[in-house]
């Protein structure tokens, strides 16, 4: 019987890096310019925190024997309620993030076609993109993956070109003039952009999902996750700082299409327009993939009894259409509720809320590592190192929560607490189903060669279904 060829550590490292180079960077130069080039301090903090998170998630993936992704990890320490609230907040984060991705596309469309949209029209365009990309998914995942595999290069190529060729246009005087336009202290500057820089790394938790497809996963998954995260960090830091040395700070702050602007400065307006067109396609391809992905996240949780059964209903193509429409209704309401006179303000509101809700599962998973290592009989020295890394990752997560702002913390907290209220119903239903023998906690098998496995719940690779974060 033929054995499927597995990825090398180099291939998995590249895949991990591409996974994070998604639409999250498209408006990033503008957001960082609001603080100034001194925001590089935030990058240093975020890169360190993201590397710690990446390593900790790699260890969770290697040690966990439960299905359910991050929810399965959290269940080791927090039980069924931990599993539920992890997947609930993660799904909520994706729902919010998709609205932010749609707003990103609208920002570039405005500049590309020289449109002057009112705040209401921006909201309506945002909602229209959400509807179009949802309906386009009704036929199944095959076409979605193929489109995403092509459109993701609309982001990757411009970012790589700016990071390399852009140095020929770099002007140190422009960079220094925009270093600290608001005279922030180092501490304030470092904290001001932590939430938006973390947005660019969201999705790193999905990197270990491909662990069973790589050779020698115990050794190579942590290497690939750390290497991929480090590679993405280098590209993020270099590209945003090169742009800060090409385009003046006031121009960057005012732009809703910073990559189009920098290519117009480097070459000519026509090239800038082409780049904006590529990035619009990339955002739409990303949104197309993640509208499908979020429905699958809710479906998988419904299949195990944690979410309402209606999210598990699917057509012959396996598409949970009813669940998609329910989620689309929620996104439509969110798009209307967050309408702002300033597009970047609306983007800020959504990004900060997405970060807050995404950090809940991060923190729960970091807290579960000690339990997970104890029951897996990990050697004390290795456990101590991993627990120390998890502590750094948790500390960074709390800093990111604080940096997200009072409004995002309040709304995210209310949403999370509401999840616990919903769990009262969910737990009653789970007990009834377990009593009837209709559901049980799924456990993975353990291979004879390796004592650890990775979760079977696959988050689609962002090279094809690109995220944010």
220 within a domain of the structure (yes/no):
yes
Whole-model pTM: value is 0.84
443 within a domain of the structure (yes/no):
no
Q: What is the DSSP string of 106-160?
A: HHHHHHHTT----HHHHHHHHHHHHHHHHHTTTT-HHHHHHHHHHHTHHHHHHHH
Residue 141's pLDDT band, with cuts at 50, 70 and 90, is: low
Mean pLDDT for the stretch of residues 29-35:
92
3-class SS of residue 289: helix
185 within a domain of the structure (yes/no):
yes
Give the pLDDT confidence score for residue 38 in this predicted structure: 93
Cα 353 to the chain's mean position, in Å?
13
Q: What is the CATH number of the domain that holds 13?
A: 1.20.1740.10
SS3 content of the chain, % helix, strand, coil (to 5): 75, 0, 25
464 within a domain of the structure (yes/no):
no
- Cβ partners under 8 Å of residue 137, min gap 6: 144, 288, 291, 292, 295, 319, 324
pLDDT at residue 191 above 90? no
pLDDT at residue 335 above 60? yes
462 within a domain of the structure (yes/no):
no
Task: Give the count of domains, the chain.
Answer: 1
Give the pLDDT confidence score for residue 397 in this predicted structure: 95
Mean pLDDT for the stretch of residues 455-461:
33
Q: Angle of helix 141-151 relative to helix 153-164, nearest 10 degrees?
A: 20
For residue 250, the tally of other CB atoms under 10 A from its CB is 12
Mean pLDDT for the stretch of residues 434-441:
64
Give the pLDDT confidence score for residue 467 in this predicted structure: 37
pLDDT at residue 9 above 70? yes
Residue 202's pLDDT band, with cuts at 50, 70 and 90, is: confident
Give the pLDDT confidence score for residue 265 in this predicted structure: 95
293 within a domain of the structure (yes/no):
yes
Share of the chain above pLDDT 70, in %: 87
Give the pLDDT confidence score for residue 440 in this predicted structure: 52
Distance from the first to the final alpha carbon of the chain? 39
Least confident stretch, 7-21, 143-157, 341-355, 395-409: 7-21
Give the pLDDT confidence score for residue 192 in this predicted structure: 84
Mean pLDDT for the stretch of residues 293-310:
84
Q: For every residue of 43-95, which 3-state class applies, written as one string?
A: HHHHHHHHHHHHHHHHHHHHHCCECCCHHHHHHHHHHHHHHHHHHHHHHHHHH
Cα–Cα distance, 390 to 364 (Å, whole number) = 11
Mean pLDDT for the stretch of residues 221-233:
83
Give the domain range for residue 401. Answer: 9-437
Residue 436's pLDDT band, with cuts at 50, 70 and 90, is: confident
Q: Are 180 and 189 in contact (CB under 8 A)?
A: yes
Least confident stretch, 156-165, 255-264, 371-380, 420-429: 420-429
Give the pLDDT confidence score for residue 462 in this predicted structure: 32
Least confident stretch, 19-23, 156-160, 190-194, 241-245: 19-23
pLDDT at residue 2 above 50? no
Radius of gyration of the chain (CA): 22
22 within a domain of the structure (yes/no):
yes
**214 has which bridge partners?**
7
For residue 20, the tally of other CB atoms under 10 A from its CB is 29
401 within a domain of the structure (yes/no):
yes
């Amino acid at each position: 019987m033929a054995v499927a060829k597995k990825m090398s550590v180099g291939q998995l490292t590249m895949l991990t890096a591409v996974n994070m180079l998604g639409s999250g960077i498209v408006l990033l130069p503008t957001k960082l310019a609001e603080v100034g080039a001194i925001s590089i301090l935030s990058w240093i903090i975020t890169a360190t925190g993201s590397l710690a998170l990446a390593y900790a998630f790699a260890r969770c993936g290697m040690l966990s024997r439960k299905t359910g992704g991050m929810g399965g990890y959290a269940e080791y320490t927090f039980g069924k309620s931990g599993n539920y609230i992890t997947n609930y907040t993660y799904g909520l984060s994706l729902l919010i993030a998709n609205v932010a991705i749609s707003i990103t596309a609208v920002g570039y469309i405005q500049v590309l076609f020289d449109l002057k949209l009112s705040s209401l029209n921006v909201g309506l365009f945002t909602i229209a993109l959400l509807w179009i990309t949802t309906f386009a998914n009704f036929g199944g995942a095959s076409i979605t993956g193929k489109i995403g595999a092509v459109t993701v290069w609309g982001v990757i190529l411009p970012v790589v070109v700016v990071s390399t060729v852009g140095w020929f246009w770099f002007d140190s005087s422009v960079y220094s003039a925009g270093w600290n336009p608001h005279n922030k202290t180092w501490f304030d500057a470092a904290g001001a952009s932590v939430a938006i820089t973390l947005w660019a790394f969201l999705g790193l938790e999905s990197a270990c999902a491909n662990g069973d497809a790589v050779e020698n996963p115990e050794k190579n998954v942590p290497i690939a996750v750390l290497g991929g995260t480090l590679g993405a960090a280098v590209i993020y830091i270099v590209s945003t700082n090169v742009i800060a040395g090409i385009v003046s700070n006031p121009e960057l702050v005012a732009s809703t299409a910073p990559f189009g602007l920098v290519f117009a400065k480097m070459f000519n307006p026509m090239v800038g327009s082409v780049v904006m067109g590529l990035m619009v396609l990339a955002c739409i391809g990303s949104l197309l993939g993640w509208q499908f992905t979020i429905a699958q996240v809710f479906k998988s949780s419904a299949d195990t009894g944690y979410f309402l059964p209606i999210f598990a209903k699917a057509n012959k193509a396996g598409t949970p259409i009813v669940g998609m429409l329910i989620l689309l209704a929620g996104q439509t309401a969110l798009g209307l509720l967050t309408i702002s006179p300033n597009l970047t303000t609306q983007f800020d509101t959504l990004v900060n809320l997405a970060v807050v809700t995404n950090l809940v599962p991060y923190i729960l998973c970091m807290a579960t590592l000690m339990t997970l290592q104890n029951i897996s009989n990990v050697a004390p020295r290795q456990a101590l190192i991993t627990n120390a890394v998890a502590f750094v990752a948790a500390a960074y997560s709390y800093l990111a929560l604080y940096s997200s702002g009072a409004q995002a913390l309040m709304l995210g907290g209310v949403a999370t607490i509401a999840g616990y209220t919903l769990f009262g119903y969910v737990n009653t239903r789970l007990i009834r189903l377990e009593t009837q023998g209709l559901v049980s906690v799924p456990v993975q098998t353990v291979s004879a060669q390796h004592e650890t496995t990775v979760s079977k719940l696959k988050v689609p690779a962002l090279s094809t279904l690109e995220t944010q974060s």
